[in-house]
Amino acid sequence: MNNSHSILFQPKWRIIDQSNLGSQFHPLQSFAVEDTLCTTVGSGSSPATIRSWVHHNTIVLGIQDTRLPYLQEGVQFLQKQGYNVVVRNSGGLAVVLDEGVLNVSLILRETGNNIDINRGYDAMWNLIQRMLKDYNTRVEAKEIIGSYCPGSYDLSIQSKKFAGISQRRTRGGIAVQIYLCATGSGSARAALIRDFYRISLKGEQTKFVYPSIVPTTMASLSELLGKSIYASDLMMRLLQDLQHMADLLIPSQLTPEEVPIYEYNLARVVERNNKTLAKCYQV
């Protein structure tokens, strides 16, 4: 068992499944839950935790996206397409979330710098390989040029990206996060972000180089594997694999002790998001 793989094997995995909460589950609530779990896992008051969630028709922007010269017009374009727009509290660039996209976080305790960044990424890559092993396909981790939110740990099949991995480290906790495009059109999602950047840049040169998006570089797992694969299917595979990676699985929600931490975090992320996007919303 290599180092990255061993992270997946825990005495206990606490499971917080929020993938069925529907359209009323706001992305800012999701950010607050994640920060809360980083705090409690990081302090040792919660075991290692896997959280899953789905958000409907949401564009999550990165901090660099908020510096686009015509951001207001770009955000208003996305809103007219029926999308809620929020700014994440970690790195990366714009991504599309909808009911065909499953999000998963591995939340672990940082103890003595024993989990470096690549080890966290490799653990998530290994988890996805396990989940898709029945399909006898090769999942690669490499940057897919032309995709949105490109990174060295883009997950792809035949060089078409279906997932992206990020990390957030705070309060002694590490959250390794992935979005998995299960169903729907990967190229349609990419075209939406391409148009957002076109409207928000208007051809201007900026200090930060935003991605030139080529929609055909992205696809959903359903498109890549030629079978209907829904977020719920991936969630079932995740739970089945977890049974082999822990002595005990603990289905859970936030505890009474975590609720005040969550409420504090929610107020903080709402204030920060509203301040960042205040000028973008139509009056």
Apex CA 145: angle with CA 139 and CA 147, to 5°? 80
In 19-159 the beta strands, taken as DSSP E runs, fall at 49-53, 58-61, 84-87, 95-97, 101-109, 140-141, 155-157
Choosing from 38, 149, 181, 280, the catalytic residue is 149
C-alpha atoms less than 13 angstroms from C-alpha of 227 in its C-beta half-sphere: 9
| Residue 257 to residue 81: CA distance in whole angstroms | 39
C-alpha atoms less than 13 angstroms from C-alpha of 78 in its C-beta half-sphere: 30
Annotated active-site residue 280? The verdict is: no
Apex CA 239: angle with CA 111 and CA 37, to 5°? 35
Nearest alpha carbon to residue 103 among 67, 146, 60: 60
| Residue 201 to residue 267: CA distance in whole angstroms | 31
Q: Which amino acids are annotated catalytic?
A: 149
